[in-house]
């Protein structure tokens, strides 16, 4: 149906730093080599991706015949001095303990506030949704990060859940469906469906972003 629009949000595959449960925001890390990322042929008319290597690498494998539009505003939150560090390395730092208790109010040292993060994610989403509407696109895919997907789901999923209530395993995605008019009005989507991305994902991995 021409009036229905689907946008799928895919999380990138697991990286080496993700595997050791390190905080990974604007820094980057190669994908784990033994992941089985399937090609997705002709399922989506437009592809968008974060500019970070782990997302661009995932998008290249998933959509080898498509040229994605790269949007830096789709980056993960910037963890500043905590980039590449684990909970065990940070758990005694006062700034980290404050952030754990108030993650939407406190910011990592030399990192990004949650308000700044959501402001740029909103900018990226506005570009994507406007492109979909203006070009009469029926399906699009976005390859991005766990924090970005969580935030977008808090805003547009049919059910209202808190940010941390959404589980976004590596190698998974959510497809959101709207009427075209509903997307234009920035309404919540009318349906939400989980879609697999990797062939060997069992959901048992850590979910640190």
Interval 138-179: pLDDT, tens = 999 999 999 999 999 999 999 999 999 999 988 778 999 999
Instruction: Residue 98: count other Cβ atoms within 10 Å of its Cβ.
Output: 13
Q: What is the pLDDT of residues 10-21, one digit of tens each?
A: 999 999 999 999
Domain hosting residue 126, numbered range: 4-78+119-196
Helix or strand holding residue 79 (H, E): none
In a domain, 167, yes or no: yes
Inter-helix orientation angle 146-156/114-134, to 10°:
70
In a domain, 110, yes or no: no
pLDDT band of 42, cuts 50, 70, 90: low
In a domain, 95, yes or no: no
Query: What span, in angstroms and rounded, lies between the C-alpha atoms of 176 and 191?
Result: 6
In a domain, 172, yes or no: yes
Joined tokens for residue 145: 């990060």
pLDDT band of 197, cuts 50, 70, 90: low
What is the pLDDT, as a whole number, of residue 201? Answer: 37
Per-residue pLDDT at 35 exceeds 50: yes
In a domain, 104, yes or no: no
**Into how many domains does the chain fold?**
1
In a domain, 92, yes or no: no
What is the pLDDT, as a whole number, of residue 196? Answer: 61
In a domain, 177, yes or no: yes
In a domain, 102, yes or no: no
Query: What span, in angstroms and rounded, lies between the C-alpha atoms of 147 and 152?
Result: 9
Q: What is the pLDDT of residues 59-91, one digit of tens each?
A: 998 888 899 999 999 999 999 999 999 999 999
pLDDT band of 49, cuts 50, 70, 90: very high
DSSP H helices in the chain: 16-19, 53-62, 87-90, 94-101, 114-134, 146-156, 180-184
What is the pLDDT, as a whole number, of residue 113? Answer: 98
CATH code of 170's domain: 3.40.50.1240
pLDDT band of 125, cuts 50, 70, 90: very high
User: In the predicted model, what is the mean pLDDT of residues 193-204?
Assistant: 54
């Amino acid at each position: 149906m021409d009036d229905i629009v689907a946008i799928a949000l895919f999380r990138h595959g697991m990286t080496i730093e993700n595997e050791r449960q390190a905080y990974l925001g604007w820094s980057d890390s190669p994908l784990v080599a033994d992941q089985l990322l399937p090609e997705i042929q002709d399922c989506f008319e437009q592809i968008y991706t974060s500019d970070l290597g782990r997302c661009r690498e995932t998008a290249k494998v998933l959509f080898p015949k498509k040229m994605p539009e790269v949007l830096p505003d789709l980056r993960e939150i910037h963890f500043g001095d905590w980039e590449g560090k684990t909970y065990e390395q940070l758990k005694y730092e006062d700034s980290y303990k404050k952030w754990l208790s108030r993650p939407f109010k406190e910011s990592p040292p030399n990192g990004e506030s949650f308000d700044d993060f959501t402001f740029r994610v909103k900018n990226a989403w506005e570009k994507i949704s406007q492109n979909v509407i203006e070009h009469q696109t029926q399906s699009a895919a976005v390859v991005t990060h766990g924090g970005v997907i969580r935030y977008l789901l808090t805003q547009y999923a049919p059910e209202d859940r808190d940010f941390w209530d959404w589980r976004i395993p590596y190698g998974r995605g959510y497809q959101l469906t709207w009427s075209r008019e509903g997307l234009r009005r920035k309404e919540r989507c009318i349906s939400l469906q989980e879609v697999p991305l990797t062939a060997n994902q069992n959901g048992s991995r850590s979910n640190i972003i």
